[in-house]
């Protein structure tokens, strides 16, 4: 006996065939989307998504707004529409949509999520790897940045430019201050659900707790987590100072960030349009980089004014332990060659 499910599938298949034949016989060819052909005229909105608050105090929204402004000075054919605070989905959902040519055409994010598409990019997220902002720029504007961009392009993601997060990531706790390395032991610290971030916090002695970004505030309120780690500008933009009272300047990770474009959408642009989009992205990069050290200092000052206590800490033990961890994680991702280049650039 044929099950009802199989009967339903059979009828759906037949219906699909009938519809297809009707289209071929009587409906003619499907209309062509003018935006799908390179170089066609007419405005085409660029949907720019990110997951942070719509506040230019944070580097993600600032980047989206600055890009829209920069592109508007170069072309009136591509108005930029910003979808903030995850309205088009999580970071992974946005990137997967971009691979398919659906949802957003652009996004700005940290690099941790991109490990899901090309593991080699994880080399930029290793703990205690970066000396300063200049070291980051020498590396990511050079051969290493180019090689990583090529890897992402093969996955359908165009990396247009590297941008700076506004400040190194630090430990943030609700009630317990952390002033010595041993005081981190056992604390439930939320981090990005990435093997590299989890490994970094384990190395520091914490109990790393992966959690969706949108759940952090409530997690801090309810005590599900003891703290998290993040850059200072985001703490201001997202008002995390309301529920977390201590920041320890561990500076354990540099938040390298990227502005990316869907390759499907990119290939629909003419060469002149592509050049203008790249130019706007580079202008945005330069604006953000010029602000990064200043915004980091301003954010720390603002956090102190709004009730957070800022603690210094001796990080030498963590820095030494990080060298072995860097070697291990880079090897696992086939990025030992890139790690070597990054370390060499630190000496210049």
SS (H, E, C) 99-144: HHCCCCCEEEEECHHHHHCCHHHHHHHCCCCCCCHHHHHHHHCCHH
For residue 310, is it within any domain? yes
Between 337 and 15, residue with greater pLDDT:
337
Measured CA to CA, the distance from residue 1 to residue 107 in angstroms comes to 52
SS3 at position 320: helix
Q: Are 309 and 245 in contact (CB under 8 A)?
A: yes
Between CA 345 and CA 138 the distance in angstroms is 7
Q: Are residues 85 and 174 in the same domain?
A: no
pLDDT digits (tens, 9 = 90+) for 77-92: 999 999 999 999 999 9
Q: Are residues 143 and 261 in the same domain?
A: yes
The HSE-up count of residue 50 (CA atoms within 13 Å, CB side) is: 25
Specify the 3-state DSSP secondary structure of 168.
coil
Two tokens, residue 128 = 């205690």
The per-residue pLDDT for 17 is 36
What residue numbers bound the domain in which 315 lies? 169-254+304-345
**Is residue 19 in a domain?**
no
Do 67 and 146 share a domain, yes or no?
yes
- Say if 278 falls within a structural domain: yes
Q: Is 315 exposed, middle or buried (0-12, 13-18, 19+ CB in 10 A)?
A: middle
Q: Are residues 213 and 124 in the same domain?
A: no
Q: CA 67, 73, 76 angle in degrees (round to 5)?
A: 95
Cα atoms found within 13 Å of the Cα of residue 222, Cβ hemisphere only: 6
Rounded to the nearest 5 percent, the helix, strand and coil shares of the chain are: 50, 15, 30
**99 in the same domain as 157:** yes
Q: pLDDT per residue over 264-290, tens digit each?
A: 999 999 999 999 999 999 999 999 999
Within a domain: 53: yes
Indicate whether 215 and 326 sit together in one domain.
yes
Integer Cα distance of 191 and 194 in angstroms: 8
Whole-prediction pTM: 0.83
199 and 226 together in one domain: yes
pLDDT at site 20: 39
Q: Is residue 77, in this structure, part of any structural domain at all? A: yes
228 and 197 within one domain? yes
* 262/272 same-domain check: yes
3-state secondary structure of 214: helix
Q: Which residues of 151-163 are buried (b: 16+ CB within 10 A; e: fewer)?
A: bbeeebbbbbbbb
Among candidates 141, 136, 189, 123, which has minimal Cα distance to 166? 136
pLDDT band with cut points at 50, 70 and 90 for residue 41: low
Domain count, the chain: 2
Please give the share of the chain, as a percent, with pLDDT higher than 70: 88
Angle between helices 336-345 and 133-140 (to 10 degrees): 130
Residues 65, 132 share a domain: yes
**pLDDT tens by residue, 91-104:** 999 999 999 999 99
Closest Cα partner for 171 from 243, 231, 224, 220?
231
Q: What angle do CA 181, 182, 183 make, to 5 degrees?
A: 90
- Both structure tokens of 45: 């909105």
Residue 38 — very low, low, confident or very high, per pLDDT cuts 50/70/90?
A: very low
In a domain, 21, yes or no: no
Whether 144 is in a domain gets the answer yes
Please work out, in degrees rounded to the nearest 5, the angle formed at the alpha carbon of residue 334 by the alpha carbons of 197 and 149.
80
Q: Do 147 and 269 share a domain, yes or no? A: yes
Q: What's the pLDDT band for 213 if we cut at 50, 70, 90?
A: confident
Condensed to tens digits (0 to 9), the pLDDT of residues 129-179 reads: 999 999 999 999 999 999 999 999 999 999 999 999 999 999 999 999 999
Is residue 155 domain-shared with residue 266, that is, in the same domain?
yes
> Is 92 inside any structural domain?
yes
Backbone angles phi, psi at 163, to 5 degrees: -125, 165
CATH number of the domain to which 195 belongs: 3.40.190.170
Q: Which residue has the tokens 């970094």?
A: 200
């Amino acid at each position: 006996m044929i099950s009802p499910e199989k009967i339903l599938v059979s009828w759906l298949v037949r219906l699909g065939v009938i519809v297809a034949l009707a289209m071929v016989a009587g409906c003619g060819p499907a209309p062509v989307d003018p935006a799908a052909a390179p170089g066609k005229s007419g405005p085409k909105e660029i949907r720019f998504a990110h997951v942070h608050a719509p506040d230019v105090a944070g580097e993600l929204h600032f980047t989206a707004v600055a890009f829209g402004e920069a592109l508007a000075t170069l072309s009136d054919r591509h108005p930029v529409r910003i979808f903030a605070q995850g309205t088009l989905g999580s970071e992974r959902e946005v990137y997967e949509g971009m691979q398919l040519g659906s949802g957003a055409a652009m996004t700005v994010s940290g690099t941790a999520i991109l490990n899901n598409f090309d593991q080699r990019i994880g080399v930029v997220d290793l703990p205690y790897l970066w000396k300063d902002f200049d070291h980051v720029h020498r590396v990511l504007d050079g051969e290493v940045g180019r090689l990583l961009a090529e890897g992402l392009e093969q996955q359908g993601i165009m990396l247009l430019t590297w941008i700076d997060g506004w400040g190194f990531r630090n430990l943030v706790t609700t009630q317990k201050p952390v002033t010595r390395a041993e005081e981190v032991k056992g604390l439930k610290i939320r981090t990005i659900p990435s093997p590299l971030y989890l490994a970094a916090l384990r190395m520091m002695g914490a109990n790393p707790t992966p959690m969706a970004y949108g759940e952090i505030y409530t997690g801090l309120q309810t005590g599900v987590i003891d703290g998290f780690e993040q850059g200072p500008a985001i703490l201001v933009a997202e008002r995390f100072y309301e529920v977390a009272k201590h920041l320890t300047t561990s500076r354990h990770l540099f938040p390298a960030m990227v502005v990316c474009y869907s390759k499907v959408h990119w290939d629909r642009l003419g060469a002149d349009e592509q050049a203008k989009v790249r130019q706007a992205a580079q202008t945005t990069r330069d604006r953000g980089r010029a602000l990064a050290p200043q915004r980091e200092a301003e954010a720390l000052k603002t956090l102190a004014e709004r009730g957070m206590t800022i603690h210094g800490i001796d990080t030498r033990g963590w820095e030494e332990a990080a060298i072995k961890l860097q070697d291990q994680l880079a090897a696992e991702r086939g990025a030992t060659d890139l790690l070597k280049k990054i370390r060499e650039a630190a000496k210049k």
